[in-house]
Chains A and B, each alone.
Chain A
Amino acid sequence: MAKVNIKIDGHPIEVEKGSFILEAAKALGISIPTLCYYPHMTPYAACRICAVEIRDGKGWSKIVTACNYPVWDGMEVLTTTPRVLNARRVNLEMLMSQCAPVPVLQELAREFGIDKPRWGTGEDTCILCGLCVRICDEVVGAHALAFSDRGIHRRVATPFDDTSSDCILCGACASVCPTGHITMEDIDQRTVIHRDLTLGPNAAISLPFRQAVPNVPRIDPQRCIHFTTGGCGICSQVCPKECIHYDDVDTFEEIEAGAVIVATGFDNFDPTPLKQYGYGRYANVITAEEFERMNNAAGPTGGHVVLENGQEPRSIAIIHCVGSRDENHHSYCSRVCCMYALKFAHLVKEKTNAEVYQLYIDLRSFGKGYEEFYQRILDEGVNVIRGRGAEVIPSGNRRKDEGPLLVQCEDTLIGRFREIPVDMVILCTALEARRDAKETGRKFNISVGADGWFIEAHPKLAPVSTSTDGIFLAGTCQGAKDIPDTVAQGGAAAAQAMKLLCLGEVLLDAAYAEIDETYCSGCRLCNDLCAYSALEFDEAKKVSRINPALCKACGTCVAACPAGAITGRHFTDDQIYAQIEGMLT
């Protein structure tokens, strides 16, 4: 790119041809005030506050806007002539006469020494800088905002002043607005509290979670404007190290490992099919996970327990065993719900004045200190009702001080049917096996039980091992369990894996199956039969191979091989016959 020489306030500088005065001034550290300029958008030159005087050194001079005037060789720029200062000042005062004294204008006024604008101040908070319109157009690409009307009636509006369906709720306009004229609520009255209460953050760029390793941000393509509209790209422009690569894709990495710990966790049961609880229909019926998110100080409500309308609830019902201990869904007990339900009650009591009702089948506070915690909850005045929540219905024309939701249940201790009016219902949903557990099981050759949990090698003697050597289980993928149990099992699995790794080598049993490659036809019948993933196929030689470290010498493949190419070491036909013979003689 060609360079040109210009002078700003007497300071010479060499800049790229076609660049703008403002950029050159910035490089020199000369400040020029701006209102409608934003580094990552095409200069708009609407506010005219960045006016400067240019001269050609031959007596010609002109006032131009620094933000969008391209430099040319020999140009002299003056930023503080009386003509420039008067122009900036008058323009600023004219703007102030229409606009409320927002901080950005006050700051500029202070810079110009304007104590009292000569035409006073107005009431509008919009300074018509067009940043919002342009960011929506140029950067976001949603085109949801535009200027409406003209002249003194000009204003920023959505098409036909209606809720714009093009708006993607990205909030770019609000974030770029220098005066705070645009707020998210103003554009759209939807209050985003109970929707999208995911465990992850809502921004398109975020750290996966706190203390994540490696602790680097990532882009969520579902939320990223660049991925959804093709616009934006601000992050790549602001990143000084050029770390943003939009064309990065997921890759598959092959890792050679001596041991594998499967800790794939659980899925939350979706309570929508349980129509009686009205999840998804009533705004204030939420799952335990969503309540947990609400309690998070970094969550969408800032840690406050609130209803969807933003008010504090007066009464909350917590329904246990949603999806668990239910023969229609999961017959097992999820093990964690009782205790977290008690914790919820404690938190609600701590944060609000709400009444709390626990509706349980059996309260299983089996761990260390758990029973004491249960007693404490009772002391705090939580209503504990033995009886499964039957149905949640709208209460209709109830009294005003009562909640709009009615929870029906049978209190089995007093033998009565009860209806409890509440503001909020929390569903303690079941823990269930991950929906892709079967597939994962196949991959690692781990058996999957009827409920979808992985089956350990032995429930008592080998609770973290699997039928495949070197593959271990940890956490809820093996069955519902709480955090202490998970940590303990994780520790056990790690120890098991470490044992293998520290040894550095595998002691082989003398007895294992062997393939005579001369006779193997490559039919791969044996591959599918092996229960221990000991057989693999050599694509190059078109023969099957046996990994002696994995082989348990069960003999299935030996018996199955149509070519008789597999022999079991120490259990050859001759040896077996000899043994039989020996026994008979």
Chain B
Amino acid sequence: MNATRLASPSALEDFRAQLIKHRQEEKTTITVCSGTGCLACGCEKVSAAMHEALVASHLDTVVELKRTGCHGFCERGPLVVIHPQGIFYQRVKPGDAKLIVDQTIKAGQTVHRLLYTDPQTKQTIMHEADIPFYKKQMRLIFGKNGHMDPTSINDYIALGGYAQVVKALAMKPEEIIQEIIDSGLRGRGGGGYPTGKKWATCRKAKGSPKYVICNADEGDPGAFMDRSLLEGNPHSVIEGMVIGAYAIGSNEGYVYVRNEYPLAVKNLLFAIEAAGELGLLGENILGSGFDFHLVVSRGGGAFVCGESTALMASLEGKTGEPRAKYIHTVESGLWEKPSNLNNVETWANVPVIIEMGAKAYADIGTTNSKGTKVFALTGKVNNTGLVEVPMGITLREILYDIGGGVKGNRNFKAVQTGGPSGGTLIVETSERKIHDSLVAHGDLREDEEALSLLDLPIDFDELTKAGSMMGSGGMIVMDEDSCMVDVAKYFLNFLQEESCGKCLPCREGIRKMLAILTRITDGQGQISDLEELENLSQVIIDTSLCQLGGSAPNPVLSTIRYFRQEYLAHILEKRCPAGLCKALVSHAITENCTGCHACLKSCPTGAIVGTPKQLYSIIQDKCIQCGACYQICQYDAIRRVKRGEGEAIQQRARDLWKPAAKPEPVAAK
């Protein structure tokens, strides 16, 4: 069903009413999540199989098959939801399509095998909303994703889309800005600058034309909420930008999106064209006399182009390098004109605020952080995916209630937030089952054991206070197998590669810090290295040109702050408590060995020797510490020990070893 250009707000409402009426008459709908996570899991094949199954059953005209945006529960993809019943199937294989059509569509029964089973209660759950992963979430921004085809503007309008544009165009620009100020919305890109204040400054700034820009250059490793929004619901971002442009007094907008997000680019371009055809973008929007043109500009993938001035330089066609921001971009930004840059998620919040009203929105969250925040929950947690939670939720709720706890039989150790510029926070030290060697070497002090940030309320200020930052919302969960020095090294390595190299402290300072960290993980560290790292950090923070450099030491400073003992273990004892730093670790087979020889097959260098059902051992000279045997051993027989102590442990094992009667696997890692 198509509409011509909508010339007035009432035309939009008529069109919406028509759409809804048309939909109510409609039949069963099978939605297949087509977010990036599910795409990677093969949802395209599922969708095709579903179509075939429908055709085979002659149901393709009666049942609608729809590909939707991301549902967030990427861990369980591909996801299939059947409406109107709301039956939620997870990890659907193409082979399951026929079963679903036969049992659920035709016979009205659920396929139990495909339902979600709560790992705690072992009960199957039929509806999406009842799953613990979703229960604690507040899906203001992502809510519509699962119900609409991102390429269909009709779907969005039927769900109430663009109604906020109508509402906003009836308001005065100052009223809109006041509304945003009252809502307490802060920039979701990481800095947390009050959005309303930014808009007000930009509106007041002298110069014409003014630009509104959407920052979709999401570069943090592990973060993909902006991508999912643009892929799953591009119209919400466009709607936010139209409102913002009207409030600021701009008629031209840009979306700067990474070219590595082809689906996001495709869906966004599609959405802009569709909105333009309906008169929701372009000249004289809904007959209001307000013009707004939106252009998509694709970035080349440099991390630094997420920085506002570098992004604008890149938009201008120059090298994406930051400049000093002593003159703010809201006053002199793109082409030296007032430019208002907000992140994808921030723009998507705008229609929500207009719809809810500032007061209702401000009721969500903490004193200084309002609304919801989308996190990309990844790492060693059971339920990974995109979670949208109200500000002020505790880490415990995210990790346990939503995340479903730690993966495998391990313990939480740390959570890294804010991407490379953020920090690593300690969690659960008091509760963790302390590794044998940690106790033996006295790594943990009394006071450190008590330290846990598990009940830290998550908002802008609390995270900053704890030494990390909100960032764009990456949340990487680490268990006790992660070495904190190695984590810091990983992020610094990323930043060294992604630094633009313009200013000296960032270019050379990160290199120096990385060299020190590498020295530490190679067992060459000295106690003075910690002091040198802190001194370098101070200089880099003080003198870097932009916030890439200014926040680059965060991964190091936060790990030193919370895991100083782990650094000391590396430096003084030449020992990696997590057993990850190859230069400091030896692998040894203990008396737990059952002689299953699984390790032997996994060893890439042939360092493991022995006869089946007898004790195996590792030839220390041949071992490259890859950890493949450690990962595969089901009997906890392989230990990571301090470098050079492997043979002694194996010797002791030879004395103690007894053939096991029938061993039970201890744990899967």
Q: Which residues from chain A sit less than 8 Å from chain B, CB to CB?
A: 43, 45-49, 51, 63-65, 68-70, 83, 86-87, 90-91, 94-95, 97-98, 119, 128, 130, 146-147, 149-154
Query: 7 new A-B pairs (CB below 8 Å) besides A51-B542, A94-B509?
Result: A45-B503, A45-B545, A47-B503, A65-B324, A70-B326, A87-B538, A119-B512
- Which residues of chain A are within 8 angstroms of B327 by Cβ–Cβ distance? 70
Instruction: Contact check, B503 vs A46: say whether CB atoms are below 8 A apart.
Output: yes
Residue pairs across A and B with Cβ atoms less than 8 A apart, 8 shown, are A46-B502, A47-B503, A48-B544, A91-B509, A147-B319, A151-B496, A153-B501, A154-B501
Interface centre among A86, A87, A95, A149 (most CB of B within 10 A): A87
Q: Which residues from chain B sit less than 8 Å from chain A, CB to CB?
A: 302, 304, 319, 321, 324, 326-327, 496-505, 507-509, 511-512, 535-536, 538-539, 542-545
Specify the chain B residue showing the minimal Cβ separation from A63: B542
Bound complex: CA A146 to CA B543 (Å): 24
Bound complex: CA A91 to CA B512 (Å): 11
Tell me which of A48, A97, A151 contacts B499 (CB under 8 A).
A151
- Least CB distance from B523 to A in Å reads 20
- Which residues of chain B are within 8 angstroms of A130 by Cβ–Cβ distance? 502
Instruction: Contact check, B543 vs A87: say whether CB atoms are below 8 A apart.
Output: yes
- Which residues of chain B are within 8 angstroms of A146 by Cβ–Cβ distance? 319
Instruction: Contact check, B543 vs A63: say whether CB atoms are below 8 A apart.
Output: yes
Bound complex: CA A63 to CA B543 (Å): 6
Instruction: Contact check, B545 vs A150: say whether CB atoms are below 8 A apart.
Output: no
Tell me which of B324, B500, B536 contacts A151 (CB under 8 A).
B500
- Which residues of chain A are within 8 angstroms of B511 by Cβ–Cβ distance? 152
- Which residues of chain B are within 8 angstroms of A68 by Cβ–Cβ distance? 324, 326
Specify the chain B residue showing the minimal Cβ separation from A48: B543
Tell me which of A65, A87, A151 contacts B498 (CB under 8 A).
A151
Tell me which of B324, B501, B508 contacts A94 (CB under 8 A).
B508
- Which residues of chain A are within 8 angstroms of B539 by Cβ–Cβ distance? 86-87, 90-91
Instruction: Contact check, A154 vs B507: say whether CB atoms are below 8 A apart.
Output: yes
- Which residues of chain A are within 8 angstroms of B509 by Cβ–Cβ distance? 90-91, 94
Tell me which of A46, A94, A151 contacts B512 (CB under 8 A).
A94
Instruction: Contact check, B512 vs A97: say whether CB atoms are below 8 A apart.
Output: yes
- Which residues of chain B are within 8 angstroms of A51 by Cβ–Cβ distance? 542-543
Instruction: Contact check, B507 vs A91: say whether CB atoms are below 8 A apart.
Output: no
- Least CB distance from B581 to A in Å reads 23
Bound complex: CA A43 to CA B505 (Å): 17
Specify the chain B residue showing the minimal Cβ separation from A154: B501
Instruction: Contact check, B503 vs A152: say whether CB atoms are below 8 A apart.
Output: no
Bound complex: CA A43 to CA B302 (Å): 24
- Least CB distance from B575 to A in Å reads 27
Bound complex: CA A28 to CA B505 (Å): 28
- Least CB distance from B550 to A in Å reads 10
- Least CB distance from B49 to A in Å reads 45
- Least CB distance from B495 to A in Å reads 8
- Least CB distance from A94 to B in Å reads 4
Given A90-B536, A146-B319, A151-B496: A46 and B504 interface contact (C-beta under 8 Å): yes
Given A86-B535, A147-B319: A91 and B504 interface contact (C-beta under 8 Å): yes
Tell me which of A94, A147, A149 contacts B504 (CB under 8 A).
A94
Specify the chain B residue showing the minimal Cβ separation from A69: B326
Given A48-B543, A70-B326, A70-B327: A147 and B501 interface contact (C-beta under 8 Å): yes
Bound complex: CA A45 to CA B324 (Å): 8
Instruction: Contact check, A95 vs B545: say whether CB atoms are below 8 A apart.
Output: no
Number of A-B residue pairs having CB atoms within 8 Å of each other in the complex: 95
Bound complex: CA A70 to CA B500 (Å): 24
Q: Which 10 A-B pairs have the closest CB atoms?
A: A154-B501, A94-B508, A63-B542, A151-B499, A48-B543, A90-B539, A151-B501, A87-B539, A87-B543, A150-B501
- Least CB distance from A328 to B in Å reads 59
Instruction: Contact check, A47 vs B504: say whether CB atoms are below 8 A apart.
Output: yes
Bound complex: CA A98 to CA B302 (Å): 24
Bound complex: CA A90 to CA B538 (Å): 10
Instruction: Contact check, A150 vs B504: say whether CB atoms are below 8 A apart.
Output: no
Bound complex: CA A146 to CA B545 (Å): 19
- Which residues of chain B are within 8 angstroms of A149 by Cβ–Cβ distance? 501
- Least CB distance from A131 to B in Å reads 13
Interface centre among B324, B503, B536, B539 (most CB of A within 10 A): B539
Specify the chain B residue showing the minimal Cβ separation from A92: B504
Bound complex: CA A63 to CA B321 (Å): 21
- Which residues of chain B are within 8 angstroms of A48 by Cβ–Cβ distance? 503-505, 543-545
- Which residues of chain A are within 8 angstroms of B505 by Cβ–Cβ distance? 48, 87, 90-91, 94
- Which residues of chain B are within 8 angstroms of A45 by Cβ–Cβ distance? 324, 503, 545
Instruction: Contact check, B542 vs A83: say whether CB atoms are below 8 A apart.
Output: yes
Bound complex: CA A130 to CA B538 (Å): 25
- Which residues of chain B are within 8 angstroms of A86 by Cβ–Cβ distance? 535, 538-539
Bound complex: CA A50 to CA B633 (Å): 58
Bound complex: CA A45 to CA B497 (Å): 21
Specify the chain B residue showing the minimal Cβ separation from A20: B326
Given A147-B319, A150-B498: A95 and B504 interface contact (C-beta under 8 Å): yes
- Which residues of chain B are within 8 angstroms of A43 by Cβ–Cβ distance? 324
- Least CB distance from B215 to A in Å reads 19
- Which residues of chain B are within 8 angstroms of A119 by Cβ–Cβ distance? 512
Specify the chain B residue showing the minimal Cβ separation from A43: B324
- Least CB distance from A124 to B in Å reads 11
- Which residues of chain A are within 8 angstroms of B499 by Cβ–Cβ distance? 150-152
- Which residues of chain B are within 8 angstroms of A63 by Cβ–Cβ distance? 542-543
Bound complex: CA A149 to CA B643 (Å): 39
Interface centre among A48, A68, A95, A97 (most CB of B within 10 A): A48
- Which residues of chain B are within 8 angstroms of A97 by Cβ–Cβ distance? 508, 512
Bound complex: CA A47 to CA B544 (Å): 10
Instruction: Contact check, B535 vs A152: say whether CB atoms are below 8 A apart.
Output: no
- Which residues of chain A are within 8 angstroms of B321 by Cβ–Cβ distance? 147
Specify the chain B residue showing the minimal Cβ separation from A155: B501
Instruction: Contact check, B326 vs A152: say whether CB atoms are below 8 A apart.
Output: no
Interface centre among B324, B499, B545 (most CB of A within 10 A): B324
Bound complex: CA A97 to CA B511 (Å): 11
Bound complex: CA A69 to CA B326 (Å): 7
Bound complex: CA A152 to CA B500 (Å): 8
Instruction: Contact check, A98 vs B543: say whether CB atoms are below 8 A apart.
Output: no
Tell me which of A46, A49, A83, A90 contacts B545 (CB under 8 A).
A46
Tell me which of A94, A150, A152 contacts B302 (CB under 8 A).
A150
- Least CB distance from A459 to B in Å reads 72
- Which residues of chain B are within 8 angstroms of A128 by Cβ–Cβ distance? 501, 504, 507
Bound complex: CA A130 to CA B321 (Å): 13
Instruction: Contact check, A90 vs B535: say whether CB atoms are below 8 A apart.
Output: yes
Instruction: Contact check, A150 vs B500: say whether CB atoms are below 8 A apart.
Output: yes
Specify the chain B residue showing the minimal Cβ separation from A72: B326
Instruction: Contact check, B508 vs A95: say whether CB atoms are below 8 A apart.
Output: yes
Bound complex: CA A512 to CA B440 (Å): 131
- Least CB distance from A402 to B in Å reads 54
- Least CB distance from B532 to A in Å reads 9
- Which residues of chain A are within 8 angstroms of B536 by Cβ–Cβ distance? 90
- Least CB distance from B174 to A in Å reads 28
- Least CB distance from A319 to B in Å reads 56
Specify the chain B residue showing the minimal Cβ separation from A86: B539
Bound complex: CA A146 to CA B500 (Å): 13
Instruction: Contact check, A150 vs B496: say whether CB atoms are below 8 A apart.
Output: no
Bound complex: CA A153 to CA B327 (Å): 29
Bound complex: CA A149 to CA B502 (Å): 11
Specify the chain A residue showing the minimal Cβ separation from B323: A45
- Least CB distance from B20 to A in Å reads 51
Instruction: Contact check, A152 vs B512: say whether CB atoms are below 8 A apart.
Output: no
- Which residues of chain B are within 8 angstroms of A151 by Cβ–Cβ distance? 496-501, 507
Given A45-B324, A70-B326, A150-B302: A87 and B542 interface contact (C-beta under 8 Å): yes
Specify the chain B residue showing the minimal Cβ separation from A83: B542
- Which residues of chain A are within 8 angstroms of B501 by Cβ–Cβ distance? 128, 147, 149-154
- Least CB distance from B325 to A in Å reads 10
- Which residues of chain A are within 8 angstroms of B498 by Cβ–Cβ distance? 150-151
Bound complex: CA A91 to CA B545 (Å): 13
- Which residues of chain A are within 8 angstroms of B544 by Cβ–Cβ distance? 48
- Least CB distance from A141 to B in Å reads 15
Specify the chain A residue showing the minimal Cβ separation from B304: A150
